[in-house]
Amino acid sequence: MNNKKEITPQTIAKYFLSKEQLTPKRAQKLVYYAYAWFITLNNEDENNIKNKLFDESPEAWMHGPVFRSLYEEYESHGWKPIKKEKTIPKIIADNKDLKVFLERIWELFGKYDADALEYMSHQEDPWKKARIEEKSVKSKKNQISDSEIFRYYNALAERH
């Protein structure tokens, strides 16, 4: 569905930023849910994760899942909103399937503010299991497992 070398957490964030201004925390969570649901919907089982939205894995930080490169990109904004993008990234505009997928993520999760998205992620096993024993604000070791993401969200999808 995509060319992973060109799609990054920043590419996905810019798609969501074409909708409206977002705080860095809200952008992180929207990108995380896109990443998680992409894995869930595009792989057959938890032991053979081949299809990912992009190659960077999320980390379990205090305020929820974080992509380190996206954090570094928008760190200077603190809690202030990132300005709205005028257009969506070309790689997304040129990929109808990806655009439809991201639009669905926006429909499902875009209505929530950063704190609600953080609360949601804190209730979910992938983040909770990666956070065990971690007290640091910026985790340096606790990646959220793609297999755990698939297992959790696949079970959630099967219930609905």
Question: In this structure, is residue 3 part of a structural domain?
Answer: no
Question: In this structure, is residue 56 part of a structural domain?
Answer: yes
Closest by alpha carbon to 32, among 78, 1, 6, 63? 63
Domain containing residue 30: 9-159
User: What pLDDT, on a 0 to 100 scale, did the predictor assign at position 159?
Assistant: 85
Q: What is the pTM of this model?
A: 0.92
Task: Quote the mean pLDDT of the chain.
Answer: 92
**Is the CB of residue 59 less than 8 Å from the CB of residue 118?**
no
Number of compact structural domains in the chain: 1
**21-77 pLDDT, tens digit each:** 999 999 999 999 999 999 999 999 999 999 999 999 999 999 999 999 999 999 999
Closest by alpha carbon to 34, among 9, 51, 64? 9
Question: In this structure, is residue 2 part of a structural domain?
Answer: no
DSSP 44: S
pLDDT at 1 over 60: no
DSSP 25: H
Question: In this structure, is residue 4 part of a structural domain?
Answer: no
